[in-house]
Structure 1
Amino acid sequence: MIKARVTVTLKNGVLDPQGKAIVGALDSLGFEGVNSVRQGKVFDVELDTKDKAQAESHLKAMCDKLLANTVIEDYSVEIA
């Protein structure tokens, strides 16, 4: 079994309204000096294979087809 972590983040230049809301909330909670926050998603995936190359290929296909909107998001795959 292979365990992997997929991290999906907005591309640079894409507006992040949730990030702005988080900055405002942090400020109202007394956390001053936070200039910006970019939010994203993390997926922990377990694959029933021992072939790292095959796992990486499947994970990239998953990201391209479902986990990430590649028009506005970037993703990275880390195999444990």
Structure 2
Amino acid sequence: MHSQSYDYSSDKLSAVDINDRCEAYILRFYSYGKQLTFDRTGTDDEKNKMYDFIDRCRKWSNSVKPSLFDLYQIKP
């Protein structure tokens, strides 16, 4: 099995699209329930890892020219 690469460099995304993609990408790793659980009962390491990931995704969505390729390079 081989993996396909996609070139997202020419995608034009609206602000709504950017925010939707960012939210969906965060939820892929941290569902709302998981976020609430980590926030309430998670260790400091778990919380910091999650918060750092979410902050990096938000920074991407607020950048001047966000590309999907860059978003998908962000990992928890």
TM-score (norm 2): 0.32
Larger-Rg structure = 1
Q: Could you say which structure has the greater relative contact order, defined with CA pairs below 8 angstroms and 6 or more residues apart?
A: 1
Bigger share in helix: 2
Bigger share in strand: 1
